[in-house]
A and B are shown apart, each in its own frame.
Chain A
Amino acid sequence: QQQVKQSPQSLIVQKGGIPIINCAYENTAFDYFPWYQQFPGKGPALLIAIRPDVSEKKEGRFTISFNKSAKQFSLHIMDSQPGDSATYFCAASSPGNKLVFGAGTILRVKS
């Protein structure tokens, strides 16, 4: 069963803090690992993505750390802002364009 396990379910941080969301997978055929951000009443939108040939990728305040040997990857949000409050999903796909999503993490950034 292709599966991506995500934790924590929810997270509350103060403004300026660094929330970290973790994901783990089993299927070694996965070759693409995106993170999606979803605001209430909206569809998910791609935030940042990584392929397993690199260990880290940064885009603005968002960083993915990837550990291929441990089959784990995580999202870090630097200098978090109240506007970052949303649900975050990790996902993974093997060749074929089909995504498997984690269960989601509800992030609240307190001002």
Chain B
Amino acid sequence: DAGVIQSPRHEVTEMGQEVTLRCKPISGHDYLFWYRQTMMRGLELLIYFNNNVPIDDSGMPEDRFSAKMPNASFSTLKIQPSEPRDSAVYFCASNIPGLAGGRNEQFFGPGTRLTVL
């Protein structure tokens, strides 16, 4: 199994540019999560989907952030326009809750390191 796939792994952009991060969850998983990790704020949940439908986007910081999941195997997180304070590592994770004896394990991708200059 390839695990959760994220692209790009690194992104450097200039303030004001649009940034699109991509995620392919593990096949068969019906939940997908987007997290942001920074030294100051730790690991924050931005939004999550169930069966391609957004369930909770209360963690999305501003209207500049948007996320979509057009099908079960693909999701995007878009920042438009980007700002230096958006610099962080963005993780995508997926799971099937209740699998494997109720472990509710979330499987994380390798992350995208975003730098906004």
- Interface, chain A (partner B; CB < 8 A): 32, 34, 41-46, 49, 51, 89, 93, 97-104
Contacts and interface: CB of A to CB of B under 8 A. Distances in A.
A34 B105 CA distance: 8
Contacts of B44: 101
Interface in B47-94: 48, 50, 56, 91, 93
The list of the 8 closest CB pairs from A to B, nearest first, reads A43-B108, A101-B43, A46-B105, A97-B97, A103-B42, A44-B108, A43-B91, A43-B111
Interface in B95-117: 95, 97, 102-111
Nearest to B31: A97
Contact of B95 (A42, A43, A45, A97): A97
Nearest to B6: A43
Binding site secondary structure of chain B:
strand
B43 A104 contact: yes
Q: Is the interface of A mostly helix, strand, loop or mixed?
A: strand
B19 interface: no
A43 B43 contact: no
B71 to A, nearest CB: 20
B42 A102 contact: yes
Contacts of B109: 43
B45 interface: yes
A101 B42 CA distance: 8
A41 B111 CA distance: 8
